[in-house]
Amino acid sequence: MKSFNRVKLVLIVFILFFLILIYRLIDIQLISTESFSKLKVNLLQESVRQRTEEVVISDGRGSFIDRNGESLSIKEKPAVIAFPFIKDQPDLIRQASEILHIDENRLNDLLSDAKKPVVLEEKITDQSIKDINNLKAVGIYGVYMEEKINERLAMHALGVTNEDPGLLRAKYPDKKDLSIRTEVGTSGLERTFDEFLLPETETKLLYHVDGKGNPLFGMDVKYSAEANAFYPLKIQTTLNKKLQESLEAVLRDYQLTKGGAVLVDIENSSIAAMASKPDVNMSDQMTMQNLMLSPVYPGSVFKTVIAAAAIENGLDQPSKTYDCNLNLYGEQGDDKGRLSFEESFAESCNYTFTQLAEEMTTRNQDAIEDMAEKLTLTQNVGWEGTLYHQENFRQLYNEPKSMIWKDENDKRIKKAIDQTAIGQKDVKITPLQAANMMATIARGGEKEQIRLVEKINYKNNTTMYTFKEQKMPGKQLDRYTVQKMQKLLRQVVTSENGTGRRFQDLPYQVAGKSGTAETGLKNDQGKKLYHKWFAGYFPADQPKYALVVVHMDTTSEQAATNPVYYDYVKKVYEIENGQK
């Protein structure tokens, strides 16, 4: 009896297992053919893929162009695609070798050893493509292949893509036709505009094969592409390719390893060039961070805020002088003598600005923060608005908040006020915010959001959407304060002892403010590390560009900030005047 029960139990288990197996097969073959597993795999597509040899000419993903329409993310290259089965057609091999100027035996060898279509790129010309296609032969084609530029310009700004099936299905649960191999944007503009960049379809040459890799009888090579004049889309950035190339070259020449620079077009309130260091390394997540959008200590660049607030509060008395032999706490430490308000700004006297900050906050605890708002330092500065169904769409991915005061109680503590006045303590702003502050002063106090993308264009270059210039909310600088600040920023360069005097002989007149922020860190030799800044605009008399350069975590001796700023302003002048 026990033996019978055991047999019965085994039989039940076997039947259950068999039923589960049958259900699984039914699920795979009939039910979940287009959406299998939690990753929603399209089994039909993957099955066809296994029986198909193909050459992808374009992955169908949208691309980026600069403000003048030049490509930033892809390049087209002429190529000839030869499928292995033409090795049995000697006449075709002979004709192709003559057109392509390739030895007939070499072409035969390439095809004999190939298990996949052979892509020929060496010495392929437009005429080669035309002549190959005039043969009208099955198995060899001239094409223009799109190739992603891996080490492309403005990597941090444009961002990167990766295969991430989980993120793909989470973001686009309704797009079941997307292969799990579809790349999605994971940083920069690739991420913020991912929905517009997703491929509609690939462009490819393909043919079906049998188990040995030979073409199935009666199956020709097919050109697979959607005849669509509108897709893929092109994201027209505000970047200027020549200015971007030049910026990256200057940073590379001076070996600025951490930090970067951002150039803002003042008139259009847009980013003309932006580069962050270190360079993107796909195997190191830390290098993905765009430091031009990262809040850091601004040092004396923040004195621009204190100076503007002092002017607005009537504390810029020309007859008053300050003992700049004292440090920020009023102790002996510096040796600059007695300086007026204007001289203190040009020579960056700490004591003057701590005294002004103390007096202002005694009258109004929010005086510094109120002026920081007028100078765009308390808000995100990137373009933000409604884009079709997306409310609060932001062009700049993950733009963080800045900080002036971490603790409201610090507004009543003398040392905290003093440290805040010189851009230390808890003050952190982004280089892009600093550039927008300079642009705001340069354009007369008008606050505007900064764009990195100007338009979304269809494939045929007609416009799908335009990102219009937008004002930033809140109070603005008054005209008197603006004029005084423009004068102060210019004197930083023109004064005999000004911290920006190195820029006096540039072809553009520069106005701006230097900054040195302590980081609390030291290098291996025990030397202090600083963030070294220069933030300004040019030409001073007719402002066109605001430029910020910051070298982070560097010693004073190794700082490349001023050399980069100097050389890049010269490069901009040369480009603007057609010299390069």
Please report the DSSP string for 234-269 in residue order. Answer: EEEES--HHHHHHHHHHHHHTT--SEEEEEEETTTT
Tokens at 530, concatenated: 């600083």
Active centre residues (catalytic): 300
First to last CA, the chain: 98
Contact of 123 with 100, CB cutoff 8 Å:
yes
**Which residues face 37 on adjacent strands?**
none
Tell me which residue of 114, 435, 113, 147 sits closest to 264, measured CA to CA: 435
Query: What CA–CA distance (Å, rounded) separates 363 from 360?
Result: 5
Contact of 262 with 274, CB cutoff 8 Å:
yes
Contact of 547 with 435, CB cutoff 8 Å:
yes
Contact of 81 with 108, CB cutoff 8 Å:
no
Please report the DSSP string for 378-411 in residue order. Answer: SS--B-EEEETTEEEEESSTTPPP-BS-S-GGGG
Query: What CA–CA distance (Å, rounded) separates 301 from 438?
Result: 10
Classify the phi-psi angles of 300: left when phi > 0, otherwise alpha if psi is within -120 to 50, otherwise beta. Answer: alpha
Position of tokens 């004049």? 229
Query: What CA–CA distance (Å, rounded) separates 396 from 187?
Result: 10
Classify the phi-psi angles of 430: left when phi > 0, otherwise alpha if psi is within -120 to 50, otherwise beta. Answer: beta
User: For the chain, what percentages of helix, strand and coil (3-state, to nearest 5) are there?
Assistant: 35, 25, 40
